[in-house]
Amino acid sequence: MADQDRERLLAGFADHLLRNRLADEKHGRYMVGWVRRFLGFPPPVPNATAEECLQEYLRALEREQAQDWQVEQARMAVTAWLAWRKGQAAAPPQTPKLRLAADRTVDPARALEAVTETMRVRHYSYRTEQTYLDWARRFFQYLVSTGNVSDGRPVLTEETFQSFISHLATRLRVAAGTQNQAFAAVLFLYRDVLGLEVGRLEDTVRAKRGHRLPTVLSTEEVQKLFDKMEGTPRLMAELIYGGGLRVMECCRMRVKDVDFGMNQLMVRGGKGDKDRSTLLPERLKPALRQHLERVRGLFEQDRAAKVAGVHMPDALERKLPHASTEWGWFWLFPSRSLSVDPRTNVVRRHHASDVSVQQAVAQAVAKAGIAKRVTPHTLRHSFATHLLVNGVDIRQVQELLGHANVETTMIYTHVAKGLRAPPKSPLDLLG
């Protein structure tokens, strides 16, 4: 199962737990976490039953010296998951949002509306929604430009799908990541919106993904970079490096996500819609407290002006209708000006833009004379690499980064090797 499909199912499972009052939000996250581990656990034997996999999973937890209550919680979580999935399999398939005409054509405008509706029902992020819509438009433009039309409307077949994806790799020579993005978007249009299958996906020409090591800054370069920054952009950059955050995770952070007492940052709804905790650097606490005092003034200003509350995740908007105007849910890094919510047309305060951080980092890199290609994400790479160099266990680094698989984290070990002091010969260690 692909990571994206798995996380989509886990999000549906979490919603099922809340909707049927099988768990509250907090315990629902724990249950989803146990199920996520279960899904990554190898079966004990080929063609093992779900029950056999569960029992072996629980025995593995016991071997890891998990507490009795943890093993029981894992058992309950996986049992609930298996029952839910069984119910899903027995349920009739969902009716497609839109159907093709008899000549396998579709009205592009109606198709784009159906894509938007389907994604909002499934709580996709606004950025993902816009990305998928853009690729759907480019797919329709490709069909028109290549003559795959009937009465002026695009013709959607297995062949036109595969032709478009192959075209991106062979003619446009896009990067593998770009093609994968287009592939996911158009596949969503076919399967989730139109209820169509696309045949043998292995016949599609795919762009080759090269093996690239991430760019990493030395600790000296990191300090040079921060010395050329100031104000809120510097604080955000330091938080990204200090906690290993993705830039949008930093931008979307709420006031309540900063736990001074536990020295933790809570990342909610990260990549794959996963929550995690990471490190809050001790040296950032004074600056963060001063920053929060300024942000509090902006919050009070909005409340006095009766500005609509901040954006909330869809499920919480329904469960906690007044939370959007509470201090804890206010953005840690709010924008300076109000804006119109593109989904609801409500005027409210959005979080800071990632572009502002990217621009500030780019300017600081130039001023510091750093020759490497550096973005805010480089600071996340540096966070992981520096932890490994300092002897932190790779599994712990994986959890702090929010990687689903340790294989993803392993790439930093190759970079870390070059930063460690070279080993000494055993002969040189003799007395």
Exposure class string for 64-79: b at 16+ Cβ within 10 A, else e: eeeeeeebebbbebbe
* C-alpha dihedral (397, 403, 405, 410), degrees to nearest 10: -50
Q: Where are the domains of the chain?
A: 3-90, 108-203, 219-417
**Residue 237 reports pLDDT greater than 90:** yes
Same fold? 3-90, 108-203: yes
Please compute the mean of the pLDDT values over residues 352-368 and round it to a whole number: 95
The pLDDT, as a whole number, for residue 210 is: 61
Q: What is the pLDDT of residues 90-132, one digit of tens each?
A: 555 556 678 888 889 999 999 999 999 988 877 777 888 999 9
- Check whether domain 3-90 has CATH 1.10.150, yes or no: yes
The CATH code belonging to domain 108-203 is 1.10.150.130
User: Which residues are registered as beta bridge partners of 105?
Assistant: 155
- Category of 331 on φ-ψ map: left (φ > 0), alpha (ψ -120 to 50) or beta: beta
Which residue is catalytic, options 234, 350, 380, 381?
Answer: 380
- Round the average pLDDT of the chain to a whole number and report it: 86
Tokens 């490497």 found at: 372
Which residue is catalytic, options 8, 246, 252, 291?
Answer: 246
In this prediction the pTM is 0.69
Which residue is catalytic, options 57, 132, 241, 412?
Answer: 412
Q: What is the pLDDT of residues 175-206, one digit of tens each?
A: 888 888 898 899 899 988 998 877 665 556 66
**Residue 155 reports pLDDT greater than 90:** yes
Comparing 430 with 66, the larger pLDDT belongs to 66
Which residue is catalytic, options 37, 224, 303, 377?
Answer: 377
Which residue is catalytic, options 8, 291, 311, 403?
Answer: 403
Comparing 430 with 82, the larger pLDDT belongs to 82
271 counts as catalytic? yes
Q: pLDDT above 70 covers what percent of the chain?
A: 88
* C-alpha dihedral (238, 242, 243, 248), degrees to nearest 10: 20
* Dist CA 51 CA 60 (whole Å): 14
57 counts as catalytic? no
291 counts as catalytic? no
The pLDDT, as a whole number, for residue 116 is: 92
Q: How far apart are the first and last CA of the chain?
A: 56
Which residue is catalytic, options 29, 104, 271, 348?
Answer: 271
CATH superfamily of the 219-417 domain: Intergrase catalytic core (1.10.443.10)
- Binned at pLDDT 50, 70 and 90, residue 319 comes out as confident
27 counts as catalytic? no
Helix (H) or strand (E) holding 77: helix 68-90
